[in-house]
């Protein structure tokens, strides 16, 4: 790591966490089926490797540093997020701790994250948290869509029907009503959703 100019100031005691953070992006995007393996040709042709190689630059501005997942600044940002969320300082995140990641996360969404992705005695470790952050920060990528699809596909049947949508959106509507009494209705939101997606199967969204 010290061979990269932009990592010269990385503290040695942070090396293990930096490596985990860096490696996790490769596996999140290049191993979406979670086989634990990445083809060398996929890695060599990946823009992720090009992003890592940007650390070879002698100088770059703060904007570049913040946007590059592999920069010291970005790694410390994510790790600091994890530490701040870990309210009981046991090195793991409970559901109620992860819920503080963003004010828009509903209880059912958090429950589904913990159901679908690896936890240890009901708590999330740093590696699983990194996957969560990568999905949240790259929502338009196919890998993130696949990540969220697993959460939404409650019955694991490759389709989301009106019952499931109602289940998720009811939590969202309740949250909005508690904040600003906006008067949203679940049925209205569902109808608008169907109009936007125009699914091939009536009232059923497939991946």
CATH architecture, domain 5-151: Orthogonal Bundle (1.10)
Q: Which pLDDT value is given to residue 33?
A: 82
pLDDT at 1: 57
- pLDDT at res. 64: 80
Coil, helix or strand for 166? Answer: helix
Quote the CA–CA distance of 160 and 193 in Å, as a whole number. 12
Q: Distance between CA 113 and CA 98 in Å, rounded?
A: 10
Cβ 149 vs Cβ 207: under 8 Å: yes
pLDDT for the residue 131: 97
> What integer pLDDT is reported at residue 207 of this predicted model?
66
pLDDT tens for each residue of 30-52: 998 889 999 999 999 999 999 99
Residue ranges covered by each domain of the chain: 5-151, 153-206
DSSP per-residue letters across 70-131: TSHHHHHHHHHHHHHH-TT-SSSB-HHHHGGG-TT--HHHHHHHHHHS--BTTBB-HHHHHH
- Residues with pLDDT less than 50, the chain: none
pLDDT for residue 187: 67
């Amino acid at each position: 790591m010290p061979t990269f100019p932009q990592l010269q100031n990385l503290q040695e005691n942070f090396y293990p966490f930096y490596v985990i953070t860096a490696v996790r992006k490769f596996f999140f995007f290049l191993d979406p089926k979670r086989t634990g393996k990445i083809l060398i040709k996929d890695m060599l042709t990946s823009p992720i490797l090009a992003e890592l190689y940007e650390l070879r630059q002698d100088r770059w501005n703060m904007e570049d540093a913040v946007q590059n997942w592999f920069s010291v600044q970005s790694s410390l940002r994510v790790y600091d997020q994890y530490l701040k969320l870990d309210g009981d300082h046991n090195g793991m995140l409970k559901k109620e701790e992860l819920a503080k990641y963003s004010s828009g996360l509903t209880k059912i969404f958090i429950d589904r994250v913990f159901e679908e992705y690896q936890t240890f005695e009901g708590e999330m470790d740093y590696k699983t948290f990194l996957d969560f952050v990568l999905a949240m920060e790259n929502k338009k990528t196919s890998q993130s869509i696949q990540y969220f699809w697993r959460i939404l596909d409650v019955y694991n049947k490759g389709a989301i029907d009106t019952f499931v949508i109602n289940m998720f959106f009811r939590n969202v509507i309740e949250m909005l009503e508690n904040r600003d009494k906006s008067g949203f209705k679940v049925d209205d939101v569902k109808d608008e959703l169907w109009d936007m997606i125009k699914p091939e199967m009536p009232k059923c969204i497939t991946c």
